[in-house]
Chain A
Amino acid sequence: MLDRRTFLTGALSATLLAPALARARVSAASTVRVVVDGGCEDARAFARACGLSESAHQDAASLAATLEDMRETACVGLGRDSQVFVLTRLLASRGYRPVYEGRHELVAARTRHTLRGARDAVRTLATALADAGDAWPRWLATAAPRLAHAASLEQATARTVSGLAARGDGPGLLVSWCLLRA
């Protein structure tokens, strides 16, 4: 039984995250901080797809210290709503602002995705997630750097549903995000 919130986190080279960096504001030379809830399989799948080691554990106190010292250009991740609530506010005081947020909700044994961010990026992602089944966290991770793209572009909301049942150990609502340093 997991009785502490643990996180998987690491600073990864942006090139590791996905190939489609040319259009992204995150340059290949920069690093991206990935933060993932260590307590549920969907989030861990996201972490693996980002190339994050399963041993990169931190508890909530040391994660807060990591965020205090954060230098990376962007922060992406997948976790519980409460974690994202705290993290976005802690990082806002350090000059990071949200450019993308996705809500992934368990509804009638399917995952309903509501994505908000740069129009093209969220539409592409929504299409990918519709066919992703329970592999949706992997698709999300692949798209992560693109979500950081052009915060100033027109914002849009896209909704879609993944066909297969979500894994049983999640909270029922996961939130993905991308924050960019202003």
Chain B
Amino acid sequence: MKPRDALPPARVDAGALDAALEEWRAALGPQWVLSGKASGLARYRDDFAPDAAQSRAPHAALQPANLKQVQKVLEIARRRGVPLWPLATGRNLGYGGAAARQAGVVMLDLQRMNRVLEINEALGYALVEPGVSHLDLQRELTRRGSALTAAPPAAGWGSVLGNLLERGHGYTPRAEQFDNLCGLQLVLADGTVVETGLGARERERGKPRAVLPWRHGLPAASLFGQANFAVVTRLGLALTPRPAVLRAYRVSVAAEDDLRVLVERLRPLLLDGVVAPGGVIVNLLLDAALVTTRRRLGGDSGPLAAEARARLGAELGLGAWNYHGAFAGTADSVAGDAQALREALRGLAGARLEFEDGTGSAPGVALHAALARGVASTEAHAVLDWVGAGAHLDVDTSLPLRGDAALAAFRAHQALCDEHGLDYLAAFQLGPRDLRHRHLLVFARDDAQAGARVAKLYRALAAAADGRGEGVLRTHLDFMDDIAAQYAWSDQAWLRTCESLKDALDPGGLLAPGKSGLWPGRGGRKRD
């Protein structure tokens, strides 16, 4: 994967833009249209940008307060030919933050639409607007004394909607956010309001019971994940009741190569439902980074040598790999599951099973116990301190739930990290049939050279993962075209299908041009 040339700004006619800004000011109120230096526009950037040279500065930002205003914004954008980039809370750090793919667009910031519209305790769902963060939702659930929880990501300050649309993940058994989707309300580029779930029934009049993500006909909602076909203005989210008993635990294995056998022992339990999806196998350094930093460990700033890693593990009580899981259910079912796990681990040399008991333990145990309970917080940001003022770029791939596949991925990533002078901080999350390899490339955010090194490493890792047959699941703005190109089978059939959809739903190419490698105009206007 070769570095691409810097992306030029979107082409927008200056006169049309000025006229659009005037109209937006009249429609939203001038204080909700940010343009010019002192306007707060600087917030719309990628704080974790690996490539400092790539400008993403938008022309302006709009902050509508409701659905009607969103429609009005789109109507003006359409008439004036100004592209928009929707944002929920703009905290998509690791993947582009609050920035757009290209400089020169106008940000459509939906943070002011921040109402929790409904929490249905009996049926277990919430209806939320784009600006509701996981922390907000948690507060509202607590305020109502609800017995329900969501599955927040480790960075709980981001939006429920943005995280789900980006195909984010939490750590409860309902970790896959997209599985919790129960209907979207969308505004298409032509202003049409669409309900993807039951809310589309005439009788529900757009006020859905969010109990199903689909209905008769095309199960449309999944078309809008990581896409640029519409602005999403409301989300139905499945919530789950807190279990009567939840017992978090950690299985640690001593040697790095034990990853293979750990995965092999866990797989049957996962398929049997003893172990729930959502648990993560975290490597030593990612857990250690919660409590210590590279600088504290001394030596130069290059990757920590194998012996130093082993010493650190012994000091902190961490294995080379640490599987953080939780059993949920009744006291009896939890005891039975724990026994099944013990048996599965029998004979595995160097393996340790430890239950969280709230009295303090190795790094990561209590954090993962909280995440498994659905507690939203911002605690996991601590890992960024590994390199001082840190940022991260994520390599997210999917591989088969097989020990040898995991080991091959780990070894390849470790070797490339060593070659590029970076520590390997990563986790494998257990999906129902696959493993999600989440590798955090942590780098100093005020160091352009470190950013460039990490971008280079990202390209090498993504190319090597492609070579091993792994698929990238989610990527930073900088690499969207490259990753889209990896799914090129059958003469780019999938990309061409998406381009046809894009051109049908958004013929003017107004919405998020370039998102996920999808440009308007059947790719013809690509990157111009």
Contacts and interface: CB of A to CB of B under 8 A. Distances in A.
13 contacts: A1-B317, A3-B290, A5-B290, A59-B377, A61-B138, A61-B379, A64-B376, A64-B377, A64-B378, A85-B381, A170-B296, A172-B388, A173-B295
Contacts of A80: 382, 385
Nearest to B91: A89
Contacts of A22: none
B381 A61 contact: no
A81 B111 contact: no
Contacts of A106: 295
A78 to B, nearest CB: 14
A86 B291 contact: no
B81 interface: no
B164 interface: no
A68 interface: yes
A55 interface: no
B379 A172 contact: no
B375 interface: yes
B93 to A, nearest CB: 9
A60 B383 CA distance: 14
A152 interface: no
Contact of A172 (B290, B295, B378, B382): B295
B156 A64 contact: yes
A81 B367 contact: no
A44 B364 CA distance: 23
B316 interface: yes
B360 interface: yes
A93 B111 contact: yes
B384 A82 contact: yes
Contacts of A172: 293, 295-296, 388
B390 interface: yes
Contacts of A68: 135, 139
Contacts of B390: 81-82
Interface in A41-99: 59-61, 64-65, 68, 80-83, 85-86, 89-90, 92-93
B147 interface: no
Contact of A3 (B138, B293, B367, B377): B367
Contacts of A81: 384-385, 388-390
A81 B365 CA distance: 23
Given A1-B360, A172-B296, A173-B389, A82 B139 contact: no
Interface in B296-348: 296, 316-317
B157 interface: yes
A171 B157 contact: no
B382 to A, nearest CB: 6
Interface string B365-402: 11100100001111101111100111000000000000
Interface string B280-298: 0000000000111101100
B363 interface: yes
Given A3-B291, A4-B379, A172-B293, 16 more contacts: A1-B363, A3-B290, A3-B362, A3-B366, A5-B379, A5-B382, A61-B379, A68-B135, A81-B388, A81-B389, A82-B381, A82-B383, A82-B385, A83-B382, A86-B378, A105-B388
Contact of A64 (B43, B135, B363): B135
A2 interface: yes
Contacts of A2: 291, 360
Contacts of A85: 47, 381, 384, 389
A81 B375 CA distance: 23
